[in-house]
Amino acid sequence: MHQRPTPGEILAIALILLPLIAALPRLRDGYSSEWSQALISLGRISGILGLAMMLVTAALSVRLPLLDACFGGLPRMWRLHRRLGFGAFMLILLHVLLLAFAALPHSLSMAVALLFPPLAEWLTWAGWLALVTLVVFLAPTFQFFGPIHYQNWKRLHLLSVPTLALALLHTLPPLASPWPWWLLATLAALALLWRKGLSPWLARKPYRVTEVSSLAPDVVEITLLPERRPLRHKAGQFVYLSPLDDGLATGRGEEHPYTLSSAPGAPELKLGIKALGDASRALQSVALGSRVLLEGPYGAFFEQAAPGRKRLWLGGGIGITPFVAAARALAADPGKNEEVVLCYLANRPERAYYLEELADIAARHPSLRLVPHYFSERGPLELDFLEQHCPDFRERELLICGPPPMIHHLLRLLAEAGVPRHHIHTEAFDFL
């Protein structure tokens, strides 16, 4: 069984169906042979659903603290964004194919003329242009030509604006009841306006770097003090950080997501940052006293788990940061009664960041038990290790954070062990 749908996901599906429901009475108008009539109706349905999905996908690109919680957190919301984008692309291809096949029983030249009419029929050509721009920015998203640089991929996404405008132009004129389209187009436009125009000015809060401490080679923890009103966060949430240090080799002003490792309510924020690419490497030597902008907090990692049940946390590598925040929250609340096993998956003991602090919290707090697992000593985590150190793991809520290959390995292992999928909650440090 998969994860239960969130209110946000249900609303997104309802919004996608709205234009189709409004168009249903007109879908069977004006065609002769039964076969081509059915194909034309199906072609129109796939076109309507495809465009509705594209508009909802654009609306889901909005980033608003709290709103993302209705979708189970920003990473899950963006997974929905990505799946709907892919679904929209497939439906729009199907739209073109079905309409062409509908004309084929009459003659091949009729099918070609339907797809490529004279230039004066600009509504059809607007549709073609929308499809071309859609392919240009979706092909890299689905890595048809191999991995793409994140910032270039983000820039390419700006093509979604002309794509949506052309697709709406192609769809709107023949429609009798265009109001659902206006509704979806307004939501999409507001989301894009907020994201690209307003949020850089209104949603980012200034902080100063007050400490940079080394946790291991290529891993630091940065401490930040607010210049104005501080952010309030829960354990497991992350922020978008844009450093403004002029001395940075690269990544100045670029925004990247990092999980807050400080306990909620702590006067200063902390971020554990591993050098995984250019920008995160440059951050290893960010100047003390320099400014950063923070946007967020986002995510609902711990909130996805059913309350009141015992927990098993599985953190791998730098994916330990949400669990560090939660462990620090436990340390700040000695009376808190939770039953947590933290299984820390590290390559080798020297790469187990925060280990001493976590062991210290576990020694003092009765709720937390720490179990390190080292790849260098035992290979990938296997079921016998879990059976030995957390025999009741099947009855717990499982929270997993780490690199995507580790998450896939654990999901397969836990499925084999019969753990229901809705008791497993994951966070990958990767949006692409």
Ligand X SMILES: Cc1cc2nc3c(=O)[nH]c(=O)nc-3n(C[C@H](O)[C@H](O)[C@H](O)COP(=O)(O)OP(=O)(O)OC[C@H]3O[C@@H](n4cnc5c(N)ncnc54)[C@H](O)[C@@H]3O)c2cc1C
* Backbone torsions φ then ψ of 269, nearest 5 degrees: -95, 150
Mark residues 227-246: x for contact with ligand X by CB under 6 A, - for none: -----------x--------
Could you tell me the maximum CA-CA distance found in the chain, to the nearest angstrom?
A: 80
Nearest to 54 by CA among 93, 111, 104, 5: 93
Nearer to ligand X, 44 or 425 (CB): 425
Q: Taking CB under 6 A as the rule, does residue 253 contact ligand X?
A: no
Two tokens at 35?
């076969």
- Minimal distance in Å, beta carbon 427 to ligand X? 6
Q: Which helix (H) or strand (E) holds 362?
A: helix 355-364
Candidate residues 65, 140, 236, 272; the one interacting with ligand X per rule CB under 6 A: 272
Q: Binders of ligand X among 120-159, rule CB under 6 A?
A: 150
Phi and psi (nearest 5°) for 156? -60, -30
Does position 344 interact with ligand X (CB under 6 A)? The reply is no
Map the footprint of ligand X across residues 36-75, applying CB under 6 A. 75
Residue (122 or 431) nearer to ligand X, CB: 431
- Choose the stretch contacting ligand X; rule: CB under 6 A; options: 196-204, 208-216, 251-259, 303-311: 251-259
Q: Which is nearer to ligand X, 170 or 256 (CB)?
A: 256
CA distances from 91 to 19, 44, 51 (A): 15, 10, 9
Selected from 218, 268, 278, 333, the binder of ligand X by CB under 6 A is: 278
Minimum separation from the CB atom of position 52 to ligand X (A): 27
Write down the least CB distance from residue 2 to ligand X, Å.
21
Please report, for residues 21, 115, 206, 213, 273, the alpha-carbon distance to residue 296 in angstroms, rounded to integers and kept in the order given.
36, 46, 12, 23, 17
**Block residue for tokens 């889901």:** 60
Residue closer to ligand X, measured from CB, 37 or 284: 284
* Span of 43-51, 122-130, 257-265, 388-396 interacting with ligand X by CB under 6 A: 257-265
**Around Cβ 307, how many Cβ atoms within 10 Å?**
8
Instruction: Examine residue 12 and tell whether it contacts ligand X (CB under 6 A).
Output: no
> For residue 373, which phi and psi values (nearest 5 degrees)?
-135, 125
Q: How far is the CB of 34 from ligand X (least distance, A)?
A: 49
Chain positions 347 to 406 lying near ligand X, rule: CB under 6 A, are none
- Residue 389 is encoded by which pair of tokens? 């150190």
| Shortest Å distance, C-beta 195 to ligand X | 13
Does residue 276 bind ligand X (CB under 6 A)? yes
Q: Which is nearer to ligand X, 58 or 279 (CB)?
A: 279
Write down the H helix ranges in 104-218: 108-115, 122-141, 150-156, 160-171, 179-192, 199-202
The verdict on 280 binding ligand X (CB under 6 A) reads yes
Distances (CA, A) of 412 to 383, 396, 419: 11, 17, 10
Which residues here bind ligand X, judged by CB under 6 A? Answer: 75, 150, 238, 251, 255-259, 272-274, 276-280, 318, 321, 429-432
